[in-house]
Amino acid sequence: MRSNLQRASARTTMLARERPNRIPPAHNLTVSAQPHAAEPELPSAVPLMALSTGFWAFKTLAAAHALDLFSRLAGGKGTTAGELTQTLGLHQRPAEMLLTGCAALGLLEKSHGRYRNTPLSEAYLVRGKPYYFGGFVQMADKRLYPGWNKLDEALRTNRPTTWDPAVQSSIFDGEDPLVLALFWEAMHSLSTMTARKLGEAVDLGQFRRLLDIGGGSGAYDIELCKQYGGLRATVLELPHVATIAAGKIAEAGLADRIETMDGSFFEQLPKNHDVHLLSMILHDWDEAKNRALLRRCFDALPSGGAVMISELLVNDEKTGPAPAALMSLNMLIETEGRNYTSAEYSAWLEDAGFRQIETIRFDAPAANGTVIGLKP
């Protein structure tokens, strides 16, 4: 007698002989003649997130600086979130979040349960230190941040947003004295560190008298005279700014080698200097004004004299680098100028009569190079 399994197997075999193999119905699906192309992989959205939240990092820095966090921790003093609630009058939750944020940004480090300044914060964010950068942080927070908030307006109108040219004669006209003080402290911070790098990149040993055109607080002159013992300098500035420069020069103990001169660089320049410096000046103005200023430099310099243009230079392709490109947009909200390329400056220098034009690159907060021309 056959088992049930044998009978089932025989029936299956018989049915298979009676019916040919059938392909299941397609259910209206269309089969492509070509293999289906793989979807291209999307780029990561992480860079967009970083761009979109960039202000988070800045406002963390600005708030910590406004609370004097880094100055309070100067000299290796550490703190905990609990201690910070007492010293700054903060609640525990935000105190812990602030310390965590600053540590994540490389502004603080934590060891043995205590947060301390990193070398970066200790060098640049402690009040009274020689290279204190806090002035720029404050200025960016109080003056530039609101102006950048209206960047779309500046793009549409081609006018600054940090002041109103319709009612003010200049960027300084009618400005809050506190904001102006922040501005000049910021410029001093930027210029001090940039001047140091410029002096290391360019040999100024052959020159004897430097004219710092629109020299602001005199930071370049102070640093360069420290580096070059045979150099003397003059800061050419508007009277109210020259007073600020004189104070900084006296603090540095260099009043015997650096003098200030009241005047406008839109007028004739003094002739008793063999090297001119234009640092963060030409980016304030349009091409016509810059060309005219370079011609005045040429006329005032002796044969063998030099002019140095120190700026964040946009590359000749006008694709970056980011610090120069963004500084250029900053000029949109502040001035009538922009950041120019090395090629543009070189052409203007040559047209003014300068020769042996070269660009020397370096890395600093307010400049990535200097374009130099010599008077034959």
Q: Which two tokens stand for residue 300?
A: 């005032």
CA nearest neighbour of 330 among 347, 311, 349? 311
CA nearest neighbour of 314 among 269, 358, 371, 257? 371
| Catalytic-residue membership of 283 | yes
The whole-angstrom separation of Cα 319 and Cα 339 is 12
From the candidates 65, 273, 276, 283, give the one annotated as an active-site residue.
283
Strands 114-117 and 369-374: unpaired
CA nearest neighbour of 293 among 335, 336, 330, 264? 264
Q: Residues 149, 165, 319, CA angle at the centre, nearest 5°?
A: 50
Residue 27 half-sphere exposure, CB side, CA atoms within 13 Å? 1
Q: Which two tokens stand for residue 122?
A: 């200790």
Instruction: Please answer whether residues 365 and 356 qualify as being in contact, where contact means their C-beta atoms are separated by less than 8 angstroms.
Output: no
Q: Which two tokens stand for residue 290?
A: 């810059």
Cβ-based neighbours of 116, under 8 Å, separated by 6 or more: 73, 76, 77, 78, 79, 108, 109, 110
The whole-angstrom separation of Cα 82 and Cα 111 is 16
The whole-angstrom separation of Cα 209 and Cα 282 is 21
Question: How many CB atoms neighbour CB 116 within 10 A?
Answer: 19
Instruction: Please answer whether residues 116 and 108 qualify as being in contact, where contact means their C-beta atoms are separated by less than 8 angstroms.
Output: yes
Helix axes 342-352, 287-300, angle to 10 degrees: 50
Q: 359 by DSSP, 3-state: which?
A: strand
The whole-angstrom separation of Cα 161 and Cα 171 is 10
Catalytic residues, by residue number, are 283
